[in-house]
Amino acid sequence: MPNQHTLERALRYDIHRWSEAPSVEEAIRQLCKELQSIPAFIRRESLTVKLLKSIILNLYAHSLADSDYYTAYYRMKGKYNKGGRYNTLHISYSLVSVVDGLESLGYIENHLGFYDRRDGGNSRMSRMRATPKLLRLLSEAHAVHPHMLRTAPDRECIILRTPDATGKQREMDYNDTELTNQLRADVQAYNALLSRSQIDIVLPHDVAEEDRLKPDLTNRFVQRIFNNGCWNQGGRFFGGWWQSLPKRYRRGITIDGTPSIELDFSGLHIALLYALEGIDYEAEGWSDPYSIDTVEQTPELRKLLKTVLLIALNAKDLNTTILAVREEIRTRQDLSWAVDRRINVEELVLKFLHRHKQISRYFFSGKGIWLQNIDSSIAARTLKYLTHLNIPALCLHDSFIVSQDQFCVLLQAMSTSYCNELGTRTQRNWDDANPRIKASGYRADMVNTIVQENLHTKYDFTYKQ
């Protein structure tokens, strides 16, 4: 019997996993026959085949990441919505009976979850995992291979969410417009490029045990998620195994067999807020926006000040901001140093906000999610550029990973997209703007070498966005 710690090693069930490979179809037909032979199992064969395929592909994909991984799934009927744009395959609650049937045949191990009704209680989804019997049937008897895994055709990639009665964002349906059709076409083209690219990772030998670094490399599907029922809030790109990878390991990513490099906008949100006020932050020659003149600058302080900005944008007032920053310091391990150094949070917040008094009208405004819409639009422009040039790039909100031989074109794409988006938002010319872009995790001499090796790369960026 697995212990609680072991069961926590789980990946969520993906209702959109799919494959039409002949080897997969043969394996599913065999399993379907065995299920239909169980006297108590009564399901239409067509429904059984669909649900079986969904379950088996999830179990198989998660076993590829780590044979110890479980698949977390719901046994609550209310969690299954058979129709709508967010359930292309119409996966229903009948999935539960197929899971039970597979368990009775010895193809999976299954552990029921529980719901803790106490305030702050610790509930857990049910867990299932492929047994060696199932993995042998797939890999040995039917030669199922990872490259056969796909996402469902016509899976929705433009998601709109709205808060429910508890304030939690839930997916909502919407009517398509010219805007949503264009957004979808762009993301579909990007996903198609990712699906035909080879995206892998070479991990160091000294991976920390707590990192549990075993990504599901078959997970490449990307969506844009908008919030609060509005197309001008949120809109960031989510999905792809690289987004859950700790930053220190991302240098090991390879794209089509080539080592990668990551570029990110430094101090993007503050630069955008200044730009909306007609001020080019970089042109002013000011120092790192996440710094305070009277406080020693460290990477740890920079991370804390980024947290201060995020909270200040969304909090209702100064006092709420200070309390929220204190709570972040208390609960986040990466900010715990502030407790040891006895940082005066109130003083730190006041100094930071005073330093950026030119953009004070955005503090305590709830504009954080709106600001995300601007950075997501810059990301969308950048990815559209690169997709048009058939250059795969991995998006991490305000940073991008490409193969090293595409360093210069990514740099130009990011800069051009930044200027174009600001021009659209402010109705003024930002062509001379020079956003702060850095190569994450690379020494200056390494970056210079990569630049010199790729200076010959030239592209025409007059492509209409």
* Residue 212 confidence class, pLDDT cut points 50, 70, 90: low
Q: Which of 3-12, 24-33, 305-314 has the lowest mean pLDDT?
A: 3-12
From 252, 230, 233, 232, select the one nearest 241 (Cα to Cα): 252
Residue 58 in this model has a pLDDT that exceeds 90: yes
pLDDT at 297: 86
pLDDT of residue 269: 94
Mean pLDDT, residues 444-449 taken together: 66
* Rg (the chain; Cα; Å): 24
Q: Is the confidence at residue 25, as pLDDT, over 90? A: yes
Condensed to tens digits (0 to 9), the pLDDT of residues 76-111 reads 998 888 778 999 999 999 999 999 999 999 999 999
Q: pLDDT tens-digit profile of 102-123?
A: 999 999 999 999 887 777 667 8
What percent of the chain clears pLDDT 90, i.e. is strictly above it?
Answer: 70
**Considering only CA atoms, which of 93, 98, 71 is closest in space to residue 17?**
71
Tokens of 310: 């995020």
Lowest-confidence range among 18-27, 337-346, 441-450? 441-450
pLDDT tens per residue, range 434-444? 888 988 766 66
Alpha-carbon distance values, 284 to 185, 331, 422 (Å): 39, 36, 17
Quick one: pLDDT at residue 452?
63
Does the model's pTM come out above 0.85? yes
Alpha helices in 67-160 (DSSP H): 95-104, 132-136
Residue with tokens 């872009």: 437
From residue 163, alpha-carbon distances to 170, 211, 227, 359 in Å are 6, 32, 8, 28
Half-sphere exposure of 197 (CA within 13 A, CB side): 26
